[in-house]
Amino acid sequence: MEEGCMINSNFLGISLFMRCLRMLVRILVLLYLAGAPALAQTLCQPNASNGCRVRISIKTALGNQAYEWNENEMFLFRATMAFAMRRYYKTETYNVDNIIMCNQTLRVSFWFVVTSPENSTMLIPKADVEKAVRMSRHRINNAFLLTDRTLEFLGIHPTLAAPVNPDTPPWLIVFGVVIGAVFAGIIALLVSSLLQKRRKEKGMMEDGQDEEDRQMKGVENDNVLDGIYNRGFTDDDRFTKL
């Protein structure tokens, strides 16, 4: 009889143990399920070292055609960020769940962190997130119809467009045209007056236009203006008495 009781008690102990184990597993699962969002929440904190702040100004960018920022847009953002991470790491493991957002304000600004697809408690360092965003910045902006200034990732400065350096600066081209025209004009004037002088020297035509000849040689031809002013009349007044 003693052996039967012992076997019975052993059997009871094992089933109790199994039951306890099952309950423990259930509690753990429940805890895990309950705790996961809480864990995610602790992952995403404002001013966290690996978190990134985003500020969006839809009305400034689009004015009358501004869309409303709601859950769907948030989802698009997470998808876009996952796309950026995939593009940067060249892997296909990133998913929407890896982007966690928090602390959304009316301004439309929020914080987000990126978790690693292998280990959901591990965050991707900020530097890598920055590089990923920089690489796909243009695509992210276009997904939201925004620009670098209206979709701001605080701390990630937009790379400015490289200055376009043409071979000849455009101003030189305009300068060249103008100075060429002026030079041509000067040459034309000089040559035309030279030709006129030569024509006059040949005596072919009476030229009334060449003034500086007269100035140089004095009155040299019979082309007289209306009267020569005779200073003789006022000569006594000409020099102030000393």
Partner 1 sequence: MGKDAARAEWDNPMQFVLACVSYAVGLGNVWRFPYLCQMHGGGGFLIPYLLMLVLLGVPLFYMELAIGQKMRLGSIGAWRAISPYLGGVGLASVVTSMYLCLYYNVINAWSFWYLFHSFQSVLPWAECPVNSNLTGHVEECERATPTQYFFYRETLDISGSIEENGGIHMGQALCLLLAWMIVYLFIVKGVKSTGKVVYFTATFPYLVLIIYLIRGVTLHGAINGVKYMFTPKMEQLANPTTWINAATQIFFSLGLGFGSLIAFASYNQYNNNFEKQAIVVSMVNSSTSIFASIVTFSIYGFKATFNYESCLERVRLLLLNTFDLAEDTISLENVNHWIAELNRTHPEQFASLGGRLETCDLEAELDTAVEGTGLAFIVYSEAIKNMPVSQLWSVLYFIMLLLLGMGSMLGNVIAVITPLSDLKFISRYMSTKTLNGLVCLFCLLLGLGFTTRSGNYWFTMFNDYGATFSLLFIVLIEVITVCYIYGIKRFEKDVEDMLGHRLNWYWKIMLAGVSPILLITLFIFYIVNYIQGGTPTYQAWNKELGKSVVTEYPPYAQAFIGLLLASSVCCIPLTALYTYCKKRNLASGKRERTVSTVSA
By CB under 8 A, tell whether 190 contacts partner 1. yes
Among residues 162, 202, 206, 236, which is the contact residue for partner 1, using CB under 8 A? 162
The DSSP bridge partners found for residue 154 are 53
What does the alpha-carbon distance between residue 76 and residue 142 come to, in Å, rounded to a whole number?
12
Among residues 163, 203, 204, 206, which is the contact residue for partner 1, using CB under 8 A? 163
Residue 215 structure tokens: 């100035």
What does the alpha-carbon distance between residue 124 and residue 139 come to, in Å, rounded to a whole number?
21
204 or 242: CB nearest partner 1? 242
By CB under 8 A, tell whether 5 contacts partner 1. no
Q: Which residue has the tokens 């920089």?
A: 134
Contacts of 50 (CB under 8 A, 6+ apart): 113, 114, 123, 124, 125, 126, 129
Which residues inside 207-236 make contact with partner 1, applying CB under 8 A? 209, 211-212, 214-216, 218-219, 224-225, 228-229, 231
By CB under 8 A, tell whether 84 contacts partner 1. no
By CB under 8 A, tell whether 165 contacts partner 1. no
By CB under 8 A, tell whether 182 contacts partner 1. yes
203: left (phi over 0), alpha (psi -120 to 50) or beta: left
107 or 198: CB nearest partner 1? 107
By CB under 8 A, tell whether 171 contacts partner 1. yes
What does the alpha-carbon distance between residue 60 and residue 106 come to, in Å, rounded to a whole number?
15
100: left (phi over 0), alpha (psi -120 to 50) or beta: beta
What does the alpha-carbon distance between residue 55 and residue 148 come to, in Å, rounded to a whole number?
11
Among residues 131, 157, 198, 199, which is the contact residue for partner 1, using CB under 8 A? 157
Which residues inside 51-80 make contact with partner 1, applying CB under 8 A? 55, 57-60
Task: Output the CA torsion 84→47→120→93 (10° steps).
Answer: 0
Tell me the one-letter amino acid at 101. M
Contact flags string 95-124 toward partner 1, x per CB under 8 A: ----------xxxxx---------------
By CB under 8 A, tell whether 30 contacts partner 1. no
Q: Give residues in contact with partner 1 (CB under 8 A).
A: 55, 57-60, 105-109, 157, 159-163, 170-172, 174-175, 178-179, 182-183, 185-186, 189-190, 193, 209, 211-212, 214-216, 218-219, 224-225, 228-229, 231, 237-240, 242
